[in-house]
């Protein structure tokens, strides 16, 4: 991590996206270090999803540059819904990224079944997505995003549609999967839930809809993965309150001076 | 079975009322023959009706294959390019809204003065074209946009995208189009046969015309019953395929 290029798994530099008939997003300056988990919070319509698509290279900025760090290439993406192909079984869904990249079917399926076992779906290989619960479908989606062993994992409110128990379980799973990889992938996690942001990430940034910019940044206390019962921790509660206040401030829609921290 | 019972009962009841009405009012047979006479005609003319039904079915089937090839192929080509779709769609709609009876004489002149069967196939194909074109095109564009993004992300080739994403997503739409087109192709074949009217095609429509000219109303009704059964059977077959595929996809 000597030079600036290597300090990021991915970064946006002065990125602006202009839409016809809507306020522009940006300029945004945002980087995620290798192995770092970054949460992006903001009101709906703040451009959080756009930000992820920019990082994934699925959208091109009107201005500015998108930087991908060394060892680039493999990106995993998890959408708001599980986005599995309903006509294919779970194994085929998870093997898809490898098969699209030209891996032999046998190899792809073997690695996919290993990945599915890691998310607790080892006994559901030939199940159709429609027969999975919401949590299981999202696990399969996570397994698909991880099957290429990405160095950058992008998650767009993946747990928003799940009940709170399933959501907490999936967050623990995500931490476990992240910690189990060598090297650990960088994760950018979009959410509108401040507790989720503080619990899950090393760092959280607030994206303001009106200003179209990052207006606040907050380092999350403690270590990852979280120790048992950490949700009762005073530091955690305080960080959640601080982030909630920042988010509320960003939503009162006064595009004031740039309050970006550090 | 319990779903078949009510319509069968109703049919039997209607036939019975028809038979009784014919006898009670002593209607002349050329005006309205009783169901019994129609049934007799069906039995007596079974070989002729069967071969005629086979001829009509064969022409409709050929038309369906042609329409599927042309409509599906065009939809596939057009789906790759937005302005191509905008250019083609109004023309396809124009073809669809023009009454088939009105085009029939033209098609007979162009394709079929000597080969009435070709005219019949061409016309039936023209009628069956739109639901197939429309079904395939709509289906190919029906894939989940996030899945499309996923294929972008993993750098899928156009062929991979077509085979692994768009075609499977399109399948239910294609089958729906096929079901509508199957029914229409029979209608198209019958109309074309009526218009060409030469007897060269020997289909069920010709049997209708022929019997009509001789005022053999029971024979007309028998041919009509054959057409009805053929339509129902076709619908059932395509419906069964559709159901099987849907179950596989679900």
pLDDT given at position A170: 92
Residue of B nearest to A83 (CA): B147
In tens, the pLDDT along B208-223 reads: 988 988 989 999 999 9
Comparing alpha-carbon positions, the chain A residue that sits nearest to B248 is A87
Min Cα separation B152/chain A (Å): 7
B244 at the A interface (CB within 8 A)?
no
B249 touches chain A (CB under 8 A): yes
A53/B149 CB distance under 8 A = yes
Residue A256 forms contact with B (CB below 8 Å): no
Distance from CA of A235 to the nearest CA of B (A): 37
Chain B: give the shortest CA distance to residue A101, in Å. Answer: 7
Determine the pLDDT at residue A73: 61
Q: How far apart are CA B179 and CA B246, in angstroms?
A: 14
- Give the start-end residues of each E strand in B26-174: none
- C-alpha span between B41 and B49 (Å, rounded): 10
Instruction: Check CB contact of B171 with chain A, cutoff 8 Å.
Output: yes
Please say whether the structural domain B36-249 has been given the CATH code 1.10.3720.10.
Answer: yes
Query: H or E element: which one contains B242?
Result: helix B217-249
- Domain layout of chain B by residue ranges: 36-249
pLDDT tens string, chain A, 262 residues long: the values are 344 455 788 989 989 888 887 777 878 889 999 999 999 998 877 788 889 999 998 889 999 999 887 555 689 999 999 999 999 999 999 999 999 999 999 999 999 999 999 999 999 999 999 999 999 999 999 999 999 999 999 999 999 889 999 999 999 999 999 999 888 999 999 998 999 999 999 999 998 877 778 888 899 998 888 988 899 999 999 999 999 999 988 887 554 444 443 3
Cβ <8 Å between B147 and A85: yes
Contact between chains at A77 and B153 (C-beta distance less than 8 A): yes
What domains sit in chain A, N to C, each tagged with a CATH number?
4-82+89-245 (3.40.50.300)
Using CA atoms, how far residue A208 sits from A47, A214, A255, A260, in Å, is: 8, 6, 8, 11
For B165, nearest residue in chain A (alpha carbons): A85
Structure tokens at B59: 């022409």
Peptide bond into B151 cis (omega under 30): no
Cβ-based contacts of A57 with chain B (< 8 Å): 153
Look at residue A257 in the predicted model and tell me its pLDDT.
Answer: 46
Residue of chain B with shortest Cα separation from A80: B146
Which residues are paired to A25 by β-bridges?
A17
CB contact under 8 A, A100 and B151: yes
- Interface predicted TM-score (ipTM): 0.87
Q: What DSSP string runs through A190-249?
A: EES-HHHHHHH-SEEEEEETTTTEEEEEEEPPS-SSPPTTGGG-HHHHHHHHHHHHHHHH
Contact call for A130 and B151, based on CB within 8 A: no
Least CB–CB distance from B152: residue in A58, A79, A88: A58
B250 touches chain A (CB under 8 A): yes
Q: Residues B123-148: pLDDT tens digits?
A: 899 989 999 999 999 999 999 999 99
Distance from the Cα of A238 to chain B's closest Cα (Å) equals 36
Q: How far is B159 from chain A (nearest CA, A)?
A: 11
Question: Is B113 in the A-facing interface, judged by CB distances under 8 Å?
Answer: no
Look at A8 and B150; give whichever has higher pLDDT: B150
Percent of chain B with pLDDT over 90: 49
Report how many Cβ contacts below 8 Å link chain A to chain B.
47
A152-156 and A186-191 strand pairing: parallel
Distance of CA B30 to the CA centre of its chain: 30
B250–A79: do the CB atoms touch at under 8 Å?
Answer: no
Residues 66-95 on A with a CB inside 8 Å of B are 75, 77, 79-81, 83, 85-88
């Amino acid at each position: 991590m000597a030079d600036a290029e290597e300090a990021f798994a991915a970064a946006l530099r002065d990125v602006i996206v202009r839409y016809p008939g809507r306020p522009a997003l940006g300029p945004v300056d945002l980087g995620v270090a290798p192995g770092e988990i970054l949460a992006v919070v903001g009101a709906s319509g703040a451009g959080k999803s756009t930000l992820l698509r920019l990082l994934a290279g699925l959208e091109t900025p009107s201005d500015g540059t998108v930087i991908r760090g060394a060892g680039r290439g493999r990106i995993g993406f998890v959408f708001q819904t599980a986005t599995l192909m309903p006509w294919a079984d779970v194994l085929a869904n998870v093997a898809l990224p490898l098969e699209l990249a030209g891996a032999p079917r046998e190899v792809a399926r073997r690695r996919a079944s290993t990945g599915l076992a890691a998310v607790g779906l080892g006994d559901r290989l030939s199940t159709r997505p429609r027969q999975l619960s919401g949590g299981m479908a999202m696990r399969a989606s996570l397994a698909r995003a991880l099957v290429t062993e990405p160095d950058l994992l992008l998650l767009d409110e993946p747990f928003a549609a799940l009940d709170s128990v399933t959501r907490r379980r999936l967050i623990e799973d995500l931490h476990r999967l992240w910690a189990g990889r060598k090297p650990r992938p960088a994760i950018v996690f979009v959410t509108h839930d401040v507790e989720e942001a503080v619990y899950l990430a090393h760092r959280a940034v607030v994206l303001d809809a009106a200003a179209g910019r990052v207006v606040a940044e907050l380092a999350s206390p403690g270590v990852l993965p979280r120790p048992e019962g950490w949700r009762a921790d005073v530091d955690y509660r305080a960080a959640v309150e601080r982030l909630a206040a920042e988010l509320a401030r960003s939503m009162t829609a006064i595009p004031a001076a740039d309050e970006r921290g550090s | 079975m319990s779903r078949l019972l009510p319509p069968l009962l109703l049919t039997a009841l209607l036939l019975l009322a028809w038979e009784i009405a014919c006898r009670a009012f002593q209607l002349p047979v050329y005006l309205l023959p009783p169901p019994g006479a129609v049934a007799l005609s069906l039995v007596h003319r079974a070989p002729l009706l069967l071969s005629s039904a086979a001829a009509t079915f064969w022409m409709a089937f050929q038309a369906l294959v042609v329409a599927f090839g042309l409509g599906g192929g065009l939809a596939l080509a057009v789906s790759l390019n937005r302005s191509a779709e905008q250019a083609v769609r109004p023309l396809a709609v124009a073809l669809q809204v023009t009454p088939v009876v009105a085009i029939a004489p033209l098609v007979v002149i162009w394709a079929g003065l000597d080969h009435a069967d070709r005219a019949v196939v061409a016309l039936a194909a023209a009628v069956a074209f739109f639901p197939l074109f429309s079904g395939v095109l709509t289906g190919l564009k029906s894939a989940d946009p996030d899945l499309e993004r996923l294929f972008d992300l993993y750098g899928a080739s156009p062929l991979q995208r077509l085979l692994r994403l768009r075609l499977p997503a399109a399948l239910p739409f294609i089958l729906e189009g096929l079901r509508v087109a199957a029914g229409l192709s029979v209608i198209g074949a019958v109309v074309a046969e009526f218009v060409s009217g030469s007897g060269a095609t020997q289909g069920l429509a010709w049997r209708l015309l022929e019997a009509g000219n001789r005022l053999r109303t029971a024979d007309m009704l028998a041919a009509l019953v054959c057409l009805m059964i053929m339509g129902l059977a076709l619908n059932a077959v395509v419906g069964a395929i559709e159901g099987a595929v849907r179950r596989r996809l679900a």
